[in-house]
Chain A
Amino acid sequence: MRLGVVIFPGSNCEQDVGHAARALGIDVGYVWHGDTDLAGYDAVVLPGGFSYGDYIRCGAVARFSPVMNEVVRFAERGGPVMGICNGFQILAEAHLLPGALLRNAGLKFICHAQPLRVERSVCDWLDLPEGTVVVIPVNHNEGNYYCDEATLHRLNANGQVVLRYCEPDGSLRPGGSAPNGAVDGIAGICNERGNVFGLMPHPERAVDPLVGTTDGRPFFTAIVERLAGVGG
């Protein structure tokens, strides 16, 4: 299993993703935004950061990077793609995932360890049981997930809501536990097929015990196991 980590101008979490994945025994390669070939990669991560300075809108310019044509083709063939933070914003701008990420509702850049509830979903990237609570850092200014009512209904009906912001015991406050105003408390979603996954929290920052939590490990290991299973 070889993981491709895409670097856009302004990405700043690609080393963290690479470090985390390698620590878990995953072979990692970096893909430059101008590259037009993903041959040899079994899964792709769009890392966090501020691609193209977040100009126009977060992810709006990165979406038209040459490599994104390949990422779209890769995803359409069923290839696993995970977008973390700015990567999620890019996937939404590229219409690989529905909705958009707005500015946080609470006027604050948020940066803290965030409890998240794993929902029952079709996501290929996560195999944790429904209701599992993981604590993973969030670090963003535009993580306020928005979609219209019809889309939200579809996300819930299809098992596309992967993660919700929650309280430490896994419960949800009335009105939701999102620290950023996200609709229905949504922290992460996948496409209908389950191979494209976008999330605001940073699982790569929760892999090494040195940083206090290893709850991010399954976000990298589940896809390795799944691909190994598919390969025989």
Chain B
Amino acid sequence: MARYEVYVTYKQGIFDPPGATAERALANLGYEGVRSVKIGKYIRIEADADLATVREMCDRLLANPVIEDYRIVVEGEA
């Protein structure tokens, strides 16, 4: 069995309303150095599956290639 961490984020240029809201809220709290906040998804998978299969899971269900990118980190054997 292997463990994978999947990070799903909006593609460049796709507006991220929760990220923009967090960005403004941080500025309101006085954090002047905040340039950009993006909010995405973190998915943790334990599976008897190789990396190619996890990529397929991302392409079909976990991310929407029209609007999202994803990054898979292999955590190694569980």
Residues on A facing B (Cβ under 8 Å): 56-57, 60-61, 64, 93, 99-100, 102-107, 144, 146-148, 181
With contact pairs A99-B66, A146-B67 given, residues A104 and B17 touching in the complex (Cβ less than 8 Å) = yes
Cross-chain contact B15 with A181 (CB below 8 angstroms): yes
Q: Which residues of chain B have a CB within 8 Å of any CB of chain A?
A: 14-15, 17-18, 21, 61-62, 64, 66-67
Contact B67 A100 (CB under 8 A): yes
Number of A-B contacts (CB under 8 A): 30
User: Could you show 18 A-B contacts with beta carbons less than 8 Å apart?
Assistant: A56-B61, A56-B62, A57-B64, A60-B64, A61-B61, A93-B64, A99-B66, A100-B67, A102-B14, A103-B18, A106-B17, A107-B17, A107-B21, A144-B15, A146-B66, A147-B66, A148-B66, A181-B15
Q: In the complex, given contacts A56-B61, A102-B67, what are 16 additional A-B residue pairs having Cβ atoms less than 8 angstroms apart?
A: A56-B62, A57-B64, A60-B64, A61-B61, A64-B61, A93-B64, A100-B64, A100-B66, A102-B14, A103-B18, A104-B17, A105-B15, A107-B21, A146-B67, A148-B66, A181-B15
Q: A105 with B17: in contact, given A100-B67, A146-B67 (CB under 8 Å)? A: yes
By beta carbon, the residue of chain B nearest A60 is B61
Nearest A residue to B66 via CB reads A100
Bound-complex Cα distance A147 to B67 (A): 8
Query: Which B residues touch A107, using CB under 8 A?
Result: 17, 21
A103 and B17 form a contact (CB under 8 A): yes
Chain A CB within 10 Å, residue with most, of B15, B21, B64, B66? B66
Q: Is the interface of A mostly helix, strand, loop or mixed?
A: loop
- Taking CB atoms, residues of chain A closer than 8 Å to B66 are 99-100, 146-148
Shortest CB-to-CB span from A102 to chain B, Å, is 6
Give the chain B neighbours of A105 by CB distance below 8 A: 15, 17
A146 touches B14 (CB 8 A): yes
Complex contacts, A102 vs chain B, CB 8 Å: 14-15, 67
Closest 6 CB pairs of A and B: A100-B66, A100-B67, A103-B17, A105-B15, A100-B64, A57-B64
Complex CA distance for A84 and B5, rounded to whole angstroms: 34
Residue in B closest to A99 when the chains form the complex, CB atoms: B66
* Chain B residue contacts of A147, Cβ below 8 A: 66
B3 to chain A, nearest CB (A): 20
Q: How far is the CA of A70 from the CA of B36 in the complex (A)?
A: 44
Q: In the complex, which residues of chain A have a beta carbon less than 8 angstroms from the beta carbon of B14?
A: 102, 146
Q: Which residue of B lies closest to A147 (CB)?
A: B66
Nearest B residue to A59, CB-CB:
B64
Which of B14, B17, B62 has the most CB atoms of chain A within a 10 A radius of its CB? Answer: B17
Cα–Cα, bound, A100→B61 (Å): 14
What's the nearest-Cβ distance from chain A to residue B26, in Å? 15
Q: B62 contacts which chain A residues (CB < 8 A)? A: 56
A57 contact set on B, CB distance < 8 A: 64
In the complex, chain A residues whose CB is within 8 Å of the CB of B21: 107
